[in-house]
Structure 1
Amino acid sequence: MGFFGPKTVPLLGVDISSSAVKVLQLAKDGNGFRVEHCAVEPLPPDAIVEKRIIDVDSVGDAVRKAVQRSGSKLKHAAAAVTDSEVIVRRLSMPVGLDEAEVEGQLQVEASQYIPYPLEEVSLDFQRLGPRPDKPELQDIMLVASRTENVDMRVAVLELGGLTAKVMDVESLSLRNAFSAFIFASKPRPRAAVIAVIDIGATMTTLTVLKDDRAIYSREQAFGGRWLTEEIARHYGLTFDEAGRAKRKGGLPEDYAEMLLDPFKSSMVQQASRLLQMFYAGSDVHQVDEVILVGGCAMIPGLAEQFREELNVPCAVADPTAVLGFGPRVSAANVRADGPALMLAVGLALRSFD
């Protein structure tokens, strides 16, 4: 299948991360949205390595369990490939072209941008509207990925009892969630450069937003699993025991000084390296704001440490703060995972495009 896809039916947002599968269903609620169904199902260690699906059966089983636990009856899903697996290009074409003409021109031009045989690639596009400087031209966003990357996610969704209707790109889905829930609740200047830092279990992803679009994305192999492994090693626990202790508390008094504080410092250093790579390849010398998402964003004091060490305003994004909740959903349970649900929320929003 291609990217984006037709949105003719309600969609279940399915975020397949390195440590868990998160499923989320939204419904309209007046001028806003509410969570109708939501569940998070952990994955076995190494089922996904650096966002690449290694154990298809285990991931498919986790999708199935997450859907069952959520109570959702939807059978169509929106998922996403990682930015490292896609090529995104912004092209200009005459405004009057219809869909077939755009597709034909993209097939001609795509070979300039894609280093793989076109028969091995899934292509799609979105119209971004007329160019302000040349209204006779329109901007077209070309998105391409090797078909095997898309097919792998389609396969795990099918094993979980779902049909893939939309295959998005993670940074684009995050942008949509931010536009709908974070920027809507606290508007920023359109020209503001926002660094979204998604800190997951094994990967940290920097996505830079400007003018309501993603202009840069980069990943780094570092995340919360490092802290879990250090807890297990330092206190003689199994990995699962360390993970539970990290989430629920009860670790010895020296935990913060010996392990948590060094992890937070390492996290800031990793994010700083990602930002320096962005600065080196752009005309931006300082972002206007850093926003943290992902499971590790909830670590107490992490946003404050980012703010102090990077000398940039920093906040934690939580879409559940502005969402309503349906009668079959535990608001407390969903809010406990708030910042980690940003991508799932962005994918669930594709029902309303």
Structure 2
Amino acid sequence: MSIKQKLFGGGSEALVGLDISSSSVKLLELGRKGSGFEVLAYAVEALPPNAVIDKQVAEPQIVGEAIQRAVAKAGTRTRAAAVAVAGPAVITKVVQMSSFLKDDDMEQQIRAEADQYIPYPIEEVAIDFQVVAPSASGGELVDVLLAACRKEQVESRCSAVQMGGLRPRVVDIESYALESACRLLTHQMPNGGREQTIAVIDMGASSTSMLMLHDLKTVYARDTAFGGKQLTEDIMRTFGMSYEEAGRAKRTSSLPDNYAADVLEPFLADMTQQIDRGLQFFFSAASQYTSVDQLILAGGCAQIPEVDRFIEGRLRIPTVVAKPFNTLSVTSRAKPNLLGRDESSLLLACGLALRAFDDEEG
């Protein structure tokens, strides 16, 4: 496998987007329909605790078995997959290089100068690069996006994918995949996202990714260790349940009457505080931004009833739950009724599934 295949991959064939999180495997396949897309297949398969820890695949065999079940449940025949590594595990840097260099020459130069950009031994990392645009500094230079990730991060995911009966075709970076998926959220954004500053909050079981977009381009990204697992643990402590019982009760809404006041509202207050703290970090890091036009909630926590109204009431910022498939058609094989329930948690998988169409976009 060459350097160019290890991270960015390519989009010349059908593939499924595969989001491997700490709580589940989410599989999504998109197809072309006219000038837009349609959902061809999807599935969500739960993972046991500790199969994925801190966004690292700790048990590839267990994850592989879950992927295999998801493939069977989705009914897809596509065997190429796109997965993502977490932002904190990836080092990205824009460097300037001569526009006259061919890819092979760029690769050799990057490897020769890698110690300037990467704080790990070169043999321990997977590296990729992509020419972004002519350099603002002028001359015969181009801006080149360099991405590097420890090999075990890539290899453990690829191993799990292969154990699941799929072939890893693309290894993306989570924040880039989320940005790509946001093109399917413009119908929810004021002015279609143009000249707007929008926070996309993808809150899963154990972590939250905040992506700040301005004019539909990422200007800031941040990951924090907070998620829906805390709510499950609060239910455990309050009602004397096991982790499995608490998770099942949360999914089926079969909890005592005092659940909302004693457990859910304090969790939502904590969730709101985490979002507000992330926004303050953003304003400090990017001082040219002083306000946010909209919050878009994604991930498992976005499925909590009325969560958008609660956060909007506390932060006084217009808030919506992500609906990436609202403008897409859905095949019967993709189970439209179930898809609507899981829609907000499939944003990352959606961005990965869109990688199948990279070649169409040049």
TM-score normalised over the length of structure 2: 0.91
Alignment deviations for residues 20-58 of structure 1 (CA, whole Å, 9 cap, x no partner): 000111111112111111100000012112212222211
Shift of 1:206: 1.2
Question: Aligned partners of 1:95, 1:192: CA distance in 2, in Å?
Answer: 33
Query: Partner of 1:134 in structure 2?
Result: 138
Query: Partner of 1:336 in structure 2?
Result: 341
Asked whether the equivalents of residues 125 and 143 of structure 1 are also in contact (C-alpha less than 8 Å), the reply is yes
Q: Name whichever of 145-154 and 234-243 sits farther off.
A: 234-243
Given the alignment of the two structures, is residue 324 of structure 1 paired with residue 329 of structure 2, yes or no? yes
**Two-structure CA RMSD over aligned residues (Å):** 1.9
1:228-243 matches, cutoff 5 A: 228-243=232-247
SS at match of 1:321: coil
What is the letter of the counterpart of residue 313 of structure 1? P
What is the letter of the counterpart of residue 174 of structure 2? E
Question: Aligned partners of 1:70, 1:32: CA distance in 2, in Å?
Answer: 21
Alignment deviations for residues 176-216 of structure 1 (CA, whole Å, 9 cap, x no partner): 0102x112664445443322111101111112223443332
Identity of aligned residues (%): 41
Task: Give the unaligned 5+ runs of structure 1.
Answer: none
Q: Name whichever of 73-82 and 220-229 sits farther off.
A: 220-229
What is the letter of the counterpart of residue 210 of structure 1? H
Given the alignment of the two structures, is residue 301 of structure 1 paired with residue 306 of structure 2, yes or no? yes
Given the alignment of the two structures, is residue 73 of structure 1 paired with residue 77 of structure 2, yes or no? yes
Query: Partner of 1:351 in structure 2?
Result: 356
Shift of 1:337: 0.3
Query: Partner of 1:210 in structure 2?
Result: 214
What is the letter of the counterpart of residue 343 of structure 1? L
Question: Aligned partners of 2:75, 2:113: CA distance in 1, in Å?
Answer: 45
Q: Name whichever of 187-196 and 244-253 sits farther off.
A: 187-196
Query: Partner of 1:182 in structure 2?
Result: 185
Query: Partner of 1:100 in structure 2?
Result: 104
- How many matched pairs? 352
Asked whether the equivalents of residues 38 and 330 of structure 2 are also in contact (C-alpha less than 8 Å), the reply is yes
Query: Partner of 1:55 in structure 2?
Result: 59
SS at match of 2:272: helix
Given the alignment of the two structures, is residue 27 of structure 1 paired with residue 31 of structure 2, yes or no? yes
Question: Aligned partners of 1:77, 1:282: CA distance in 2, in Å?
Answer: 35
Task: Give the unaligned 5+ runs of structure 2.
Answer: none
Query: Partner of 2:282 in structure 1?
Result: 278
Q: Name whichever of 134-143 and 35-44 sits farther off.
A: 134-143
Shift of 1:343: 0.6
Query: Partner of 2:154 in structure 1?
Result: 150
Asked whether the equivalents of residues 195 and 208 of structure 1 are also in contact (C-alpha less than 8 Å), the reply is yes
Alignment deviations for residues 72-96 of structure 1 (CA, whole Å, 9 cap, x no partner): 1111110000001001112233333
**Could you say if the C-alpha distance between residues 316 and 149 of structure 1 is closer, same or farther in structure 2, counting changes exceeding 3 Å?**
same
Query: Partner of 2:293 in structure 1?
Result: 288
